[in-house]
Structure 1
Amino acid sequence: MTPEEAVRHVVTTDPVFAVDNVDIRGVTVKAFRNIPPTVPALMAAGWARHGEGQLEYIAYEGESYSYEDFTRSVHRLAHAMRDTLGMGQGDRVAIAMRNYPELLMLVLAVSSIGGVVVFVNAWWTTQELEYALNDSGAKAVFADGPRIARLKPLEESLALTLIGVRDGEYQTEHSFSHLRDSAASDQPLEVRIDTDDDFAVMYSSGTTGHPKGVVQTHRGAVNAVFSWLMQSVIAPLIDPPAPDAPDPPRPSALVVTPLFHVTATHPLFLLSLPAGAKITLMHKWDAQEAVRLIRDNQITRFLGVPTQSAELMEAAKEMGETLPSIDYLGSGGAKRPAAQVAQLADAFPNAGVATGWGMTETNALGIGMIGDDYRARPESAGKLHPPVQELRILDDHGKNVPNGTLGEITVKGPHIMRCYLNQPEATAETLQDGWLRTGDLGVLDDEGFITILDRKKNIIIRGGENIACLDVEGALHRHPDVLEAVAFSVPDARLGEVVGAALQLRSGAALTSQQMTGFLDGHLAQFKIPAHLWVQHEVLTRGATDKIDRRAIRAACLDKQEAQI
């Protein structure tokens, strides 16, 4: 079958993927009719695929949790949150930690009581954590030791209840282990949660300096999950396996990006529940350790930023491994260099090398492609994932542009965020008649492939981590010798982009990159601190409207850098 025929066949013959028109906040969209209505309902939907609960579900640093162990822990935590901590529907509960199994349990436990998960960037400083907690209104935070240390200065002023996890357990009054072990029941709570209730708040860097809280609903998350699940159903219809081919192995995913980002939470963790997939967590990214984990655990699915797949390839070559178990080698968070596509396909011949584009605002669902399509079009982002999304490419006046013409990628569907938290103007600017103006500029060809060419937003993507230029500039302006600052992306062979900045200093002042790094420590997360600095005493270049000309300044600085090399 062609991809289009396969989609029509599955939607019309498989009740799981049947689609209806539904009304969401006054907007008519296509949505799956028969899927689980909420995120916690995904647990029961995956029970049979996880061997009636008996299969190993999470592996981490020598620890192992069966699916039954996992779901019982989720239910116990939900009871304890309600009975011991007094949490209930609508309460926002923050999670701040590295990728521990407890994080996965907490996401489902909070949503099981009808609460709203507030995903906190584990790399944030105390000042950045303060902003997010004030903005979200979260009064309870589950955190590991390093995050507890950063949160302690805020405990009294924000009236926080801190619950320690792992190395944070002995630093707080409440602990994760005690809550879980003292719960009255390990059976599911009976809570009425509407499919359009809020599921989570995830923070995404924007052009406003402070990150924006993206409010995701249960319907949005589960529609994204089943859109991905449907890809595994249509794939054998498009490319049928040989009659004597063995059954495919159980899907098994290695999580190598932070779980406070959609790249890890949605297409890996949440998808793993109904897909029957095993999850392996890494304590910290290490390419050689990733090779060993993939080899020894027969991992089938790898999804990381392009830097990680490149480093995985180099490590596998050094170790003499081809990692034949991998059937999906995807990238998200940033564009993979075109030349790397064929290199990865040659290095891992059994893997379908894939790319994807999505946003926090779309629950990570968006555009993608795999295999021969990607190898033939390594500059492209792929096609829109069917069947519930709609796509338009618009000009500055909101009109459709012809195929082959540059315009703003604009999408619609049940997976779109509800709003930006506490930012009605930004919400109205981004959501127009149910359509999400993504801020990304691209071209749609006659076959449906989309190539993303530019960003309207001033965002630096460092190894998949979004950094707002205004956020960096605000911190740079704190220095008493800085009169003006502009931040921009600098190409980097390993991370894709890193932060660069040009400064106008006060007359007679001198400032080195090392001095500025020391000054910013504690004010700005390490990954946001400029790796390259250009200083001058003259006024920074301006355009015709007397605004700082970011593009011209960036070009001049990069020219100077190239000349020095």
Structure 2
Amino acid sequence: MPAPSLRAAFGHLGPVPAKMEHAAIDAALTAPTSPFALEERVLPHNGVLTRTWKNLPRSTRDFFLMTAQAFGPRELVVYEGTSMTYTEAFERACLVAHWLRMEFAVRKGDKVGIVMRNLPEYLIAYQAIHLLGGVAVCLNAFSDGDTLAFCVNDVSCRALICDPERFARLQAVYPDLNKGKAGSVAGIAVTARVGAGFAEKSERSWEGGRAGPKVFGWEELDAKHKPTLPKGPPQAEVDPDDDCIILFTSGTTSRPKGVVSTQRSNLSCLMLTTYGIARAFLRRGVPPPPPADPKEHDLQATTLVCIPLFHTTGIHSGMTGNMATGSRIVLMHKWNVDDAVRLIQKYSCRGILGIGFMVREVVNHPAEMPSLESVAHGGASAAKELPGEADRKTKGMLAGVGYGLTEVNGVACANYGDDYHREPTSIGLPPAAVELRIVDPITLVTLKEGEQGELWIKGPGNAKGYYNRPEATREAFMPDGWFRTGDLCVREPKNGLYYIVGRAKEMIIRGGENIATVQVEDAVYNHKAIADCAAVPLPERTLGERVAVVCVVRPGEEMPSEEDVLAAASKSLAPFQRPEYLWIRTEPLERNANGKVDRKVVAKATAERAAKQGWVPKEKTKAKL
């Protein structure tokens, strides 16, 4: 039996008039019998009455028990030609949980770090930690050894599970590891998986005690403890308000901060990530897809997940959200658009979850991908042309964007379907359980619609705070339950939608005028040849900063002239906002491990290039303001 097609609902020539208004949609979706039903609870960690989702599993442990039972025979994950079912992953997770307890004495509440690429072992390790009632610490796999060691010690990890590449970095920062000294860490388990295969036995320097008494091979621990593995999962009583997960902020301006979330906060992603899609269906007057039927194996969907699992979008929307529907997850070793297209074709992927530039590369690829029905991105902005490009690739493709942060555990605002086509620069609207407020960042007064200010979020996904950072927690997490995002936002009175206009710390200040980088970038995308861009400040004596933009040309397009790009951008920018220095290139923009543009690196490279060229403003002493 073929899988139901989104095109039945979204096969259109363009956005159609909305059949339901947003208030009516929220009322329908949150009805008492709906999966999205709401209730109010006082959260123990802050004492604040908060709107929460009524139908969440009690804990992440319970969630994995439920998915294993419901979807057991289905394939859970595919990686480099190998696959694993829900049952196989669960059974392997039970074994890992067993040796975590027996070898490293991991108990409920203990923190266990995972530091590896997107491998099948990531899903197994994550399940295992939660089966014990432990706290999963998702470490940035692309961090240098010093940063990894800082994060591990900062949150006092009891054990680490890593791949060989990350183990090599840890060895460098733990010089006495061979003597059994590794801070708070009682043990390190290293998987032998390397890229598409496994390291040869002779190359596994971490096995057999050769790397010290605290270091073991994942595979040798499996062999050692399998004979004593009890029947069934380990026992643990886990409550909704127990600690669940620690994710790290990107740390582009300082040391990374560990964001601590409860079971309820973590699992709120199950509703937060799907609410916007359900809204898109009702806006078109079509009922949302029914919950996954475990018996209908032929209806299983497949999603290519391109975002790192240590990222909130990866772990929440990519892994947890897909497991909730019994979907198959396809992982890739590292990003490459040709590899991504090959995987979509081979496994008939119906959806792709990536960062904006990844999704654009896929939908603009010349290859045919008839199975692809939906594309979604998060973690970074994308060009406003994306929904149109997706629809031209496959008529009726459902496209959308989710806005969220590590501190809110997933999507706090979403824009899908026809609304995304009409307003591609908007982040849409929040799910019904989430409240948004736009506040003057100086006076902390709530602003009116149409006024630009800092976006604050209150909802069931909000984290408890930053681990071991009381001052930073007080600055960002308000006593009444609101979280300060640091993003500048405006709510448009005409349609009620929200628009991010920049970061409070990412403004370009030109002669006293504040210029939002996002607004400049959106204008540059007016030129059809530009696939990616970043607006950055260019230091200059007269006005302090000038507007510079680094542009990446779409593959297959001719290199445009600076004049053409400026002309296209100027159509939607005031004179003082227009770029004064352009760097048009084919090389991709520098990005951090979370896929976001590393503006510090881009700005530094731009300034160095401009200085080398001897660039000066056209109006050096008398600029138009």
Q: In structure 2, what is the equivalent of residue 162 of structure 1? A: 188
2:601 aligned to 517, 520, 530, which one?
Answer: 530
Q: Which amino acid aligns with 1:289?
A: D
1:451 aligns with 2:499: yes
**Superposed displacement of residue 57, structure 1:** 1.2
Equivalent positions of 1:416-455 (< 5 A) are: 416-432=462-478, 433-446=480-493, 447-455=495-503
Give me the TM-score of the superposition, normalised by structure 2: 0.71
Contact residue 290 and residue 312 of structure 1 kept, 8 A: yes
Query: Is residue 128 of structure 2 the alignment partner of residue 109 of structure 1?
Result: yes
Equivalent of 1:174, from 196, 216, 220? Answer: 216
Q: What residue identity is the alignment partner of 1:341?
A: P
Aligned pair 1:211/2:237, yes or no? no
Pairing 1:268–2:318 present: yes
Residue 448 of structure 1: CA displacement? 2.6
- What is the deviation of 1:273? 2.1
Instruction: Give the Cα–Cα distance (whole angstroms) in 2 for the partners of residues 87 and 528 of structure 1.
Output: 40
Instruction: Give the letter for the 2:81 counterpart.
Output: G
1:294-314 C-alpha deviation (Å, 9 max, x unpaired): 122121221111111122133
Tell me how far 1:238 sits from its aligned partner: 3.9
Conservation of the 8 A alpha-carbon contact between 2:32 and 2:38: no
Q: Which residue of 2 aligns with 1:91?
A: 110
CA RMSD of aligned residues (A): 3.4
Q: Unpaired runs of 5+ in structure 2?
A: 1-19, 207-214, 288-295, 508-516, 519-533, 537-544, 555-596, 619-625
Query: Cα distance 1:453–1:533, how it changes in 2: closer, same or farther (>3 A)?
Result: closer
What letter matches 1:188 in structure 2? P
Tell me how far 1:3 sits from its aligned partner.
4.0
Moved more, 105-114 or 10-19: 10-19
Partner SS state of residue 344, structure 1: helix
Q: What pairs up with 1:102-501 in 2 under 5 angstroms?
A: 102-155=121-174, 156=176, 157-159=181-183, 160=185, 161-167=187-193, 170-172=204-206, 173-181=215-223, 182-183=225-226, 184-185=229-230, 187-206=232-251, 208-231=253-276, 233=278, 235-240=280-285, 249-315=299-365, 317=366, 319=367, 321=368, 323-384=369-430, 386-396=431-441, 397-432=443-478, 433-446=480-493, 447-458=495-506, 491-493=550-552
Q: What does 1:74-89 align with in structure 2 at a 5 Å threshold? A: 74-89=93-108
SS of the counterpart of 1:40?
helix
- What is the CA–CA distance in structure 2 between the aligned matches of 1:249 and 1:448, rounded to whole Å? 36
Task: State the TM-score, normalized to the length of structure 1.
Answer: 0.78
Identity of aligned residues (%): 29
Deviation at 1:22, TM superposition (A): 0.3
The AA in structure 1 aligned to 2:394 is F
Kindly state the Cα deviation for residue 205 of structure 1 after the two structures are TM-superposed: 2.7
Q: Deviations over 1:83-104 (max 9, x none)?
A: 2221112211111111100001
Distance 2:398 2:161 in 1: 37
CA distance in 1, matches of 2:87, 2:301: 18
**Which of 46, 55, 58 does residue 67 from structure 2 map onto?**
46
- Partners of 1:336 and 1:313 lie apart in 2 by 13
Deviation at 1:561?
Answer: 9.1
Alignment CA distance shift 1:439-1:559 (3 Å): farther
Distance 1:238 1:143, change over 3 A: same
1:229 CA displacement: 3.6
Q: Tell me how far 1:171 sits from its aligned partner.
A: 2.8
69-78 or 97-106: which moved more?
69-78
Q: Which deviates further from its counterpart, 184-193 or 202-211?
A: 202-211
* Cα distance in 1 between the residues matched to 2:270 and 2:310: 17
SS, match of residue 188 in structure 1: coil
> How far did residue 377 of structure 1 move?
1.1
CA distance in structure 1 between the partners assigned to 2:612 and 2:413 by the alignment? 34
Separation in structure 1 between the aligned mates of residue 119 and residue 300 of structure 2, nearest angstrom: 22
Structure 2 counterpart of 1:5, one-letter code: A
How much has 1:158 moved relative to structure 2?
2.8
CA apart distance, 1:394: 0.8
Structure 2 distance, partners of 1:175, 1:165, is: 6
- 1:117-166 CA-to-partner distances (Å, cap 9, x unmatched) read 11111111111112112211114211111111110133335344221112
In the alignment, the residues of structure 2 paired with residue 456 and residue 101 of structure 1 have an alpha-carbon distance, to the nearest angstrom, of: 38
CA shift at 1:340, angstroms?
3.4
3-state secondary structure, aligned to 1:131: helix
Deviation at 1:275, TM superposition (A): 1.4
Aligned partner of residue 410 in structure 2, secondary structure: coil
> Which amino acid is 2:393 matched to?
A
CA distance in 1, matches of 2:612, 2:497: 34
The SS at the match of 1:457 is coil
Partner of 2:55: 34
Seen in structure 2, the aligned counterparts of structure 1 residues 296 and 489 have a Cα distance that, compared at 3 Å, is: farther
Partner-residue secondary structure (3-state), 1:65: strand
After TM superposition, the structure 1 stretch with the greater mean CA deviation from structure 2, 297-306 or 21-30, is: 297-306
Letter in 2 for 1:367: C
Q: How far 1:210 sits from its partner (Å)?
A: 1.0
TM-superposed deviation, 1:324: 3.0
CA contact 1:254–1:302 (8 Å) conserved in 2: yes
Residue type matched to 1:178 in 2? Answer: E
Give the Cα separation in 2 of the matches to 1:275 and 1:3.
Answer: 25
- For the residues of structure 2 that align with 1:186 and 1:490, how far apart are their CA atoms? 60
SS in 2 for 1:425: helix
Matched to 2:504, the amino acid is: K
